[in-house]
Amino acid sequence: MLVDISEVEVVGRCRLRLRFTDGTIGEVDVSNLVDFHGVFSALRDESEFAKVRINEELGTVTWPCGADLDPDVLYASVKGQAGSSRPR
């Protein structure tokens, strides 16, 4: 499924409220999706996490540190579907 993110808001520690281009709205706890290592390590800092933005070219959320998340994984997480858990 190809649904882009149209709005993002930080709503808590490691939590994002997302709106998708199909109108779906929901919250995602990023800590359930990634380990905060490598490119994601900067996001342990709340002030860095708060710098989240939408990359319109990719249709997803990104951070200045170079981290981004697959919009399909975020959509599945919001919808409570399989594929929304942290990769091993």
- Percentage helix, strand, coil, to 5, in the chain? 25, 30, 45
Average pLDDT, the chain: 90
In contact, 63 and 43? CB cutoff 8 Å: yes
pTM confidence score = 0.86
Q: Is residue 9 part of a domain?
A: yes
Q: Is residue 11 part of a domain?
A: yes
**Which range of residues forms the domain containing residue 25?**
5-79
Report d(CA 83, CA 40) in Å as an integer. Answer: 19
pLDDT at 80: 87
CATH code at 62? Answer: 3.30.2020.10
Q: What is the pLDDT of residues 64-88, one digit of tens each?
A: 999 999 999 999 999 986 444 443 2
Which token pair is 74? 């975020």
